[in-house]
Copies of this chain bind each other. A is one copy, B any other.
Amino acid sequence: MSGYDIRVSLGSINWLIDVPSYGSLYPALHSLREEGLVNVSIVPNDGKPSRKVYSITAAGSRALEAWSHRPAEADISQKAFVMRLLLANSFSSEQLSEYLKQRYALVTARCSELERSVKRDTIEVGSEGDRLALDYGLAIANAEIAWLKATLARFPGAIQEGKQSIKSSAHQSVELKEDYG
């Protein structure tokens, strides 16, 4: 794709991932080319500036694979998690499963921590706004847990006993409480 194309296609899901501006995207592509991780082919474009269509090199594929398999930092953000998911092509079923389990452990930890701090008042949960925000956070976290459970069921990793086939994971209410990770 061209830099422009990349920006436009990512722009349609800007709320799911961090989309770079042209001011950082174009220089990034230049340096990737200098490092030999991508090739450029100039495609003349009547009137408009000629398109520079980038394609990944063998070295680039290796680097990308290394990047996506690098150990997940403990406190990964939602957007970074989705970005990694987008690159899940080079994941084997086991690796994907492992990755999702790590996320599962993280989110359940956050969730139970939040529930604890709502019951006690470790944090000042005095105001209406605080309660609203925490309730929202809990709802989102629980939805993510449900999705992770459903998706883990669809991509059973190395060893897994209770296989269930599930078609669509969105909209789905699943009982929680199991322990991955």
* A residues neighboring B (CB under 8 Å): 9, 12-17, 75, 77-78, 82, 85-89, 91, 110, 113-114, 117, 122-124, 127-130, 132-140, 142-144, 146-147, 151, 169-173
Alpha-carbon distance between A87 and B114 when the two chains are bound, in angstroms: 18
Indicate how many identical chains form the complex.
2
Q: A15 CA to B78 CA in the complex, in Å? A: 8
Q: List 26 A-B contacts (CB under 8 A).
A: A12-B113, A12-B117, A13-B133, A13-B137, A15-B75, A15-B78, A15-B110, A15-B137, A82-B133, A82-B136, A85-B129, A85-B132, A86-B133, A88-B127, A88-B129, A88-B132, A88-B133, A89-B127, A132-B151, A135-B147, A135-B151, A135-B170, A139-B143, A139-B172, A140-B140, A142-B143
Distance of A129 Cα from B88 Cα, bound (Å): 4
Q: Besides A13-B123, A17-B133, 5 other CB < 8 A contacts?
A: A85-B132, A88-B127, A135-B147, A135-B151, A143-B144
Chain B proximity of A170: nearest CB distance (Å): 4
* A136 engages B147 (CB within 8 Å): yes
Query: A89 CA to B124 CA in the complex, in Å?
Result: 14
Chain B residues with CB under 8 Å of A110's CB are 15
User: Please, how many angstroms separate the alpha-carbon atoms of A46 and B132 in the complex?
Assistant: 38
Q: Is the CB of B16 within 8 A of A133?
A: yes
* Contact present for B144 and A140 (CB under 8 Å): yes
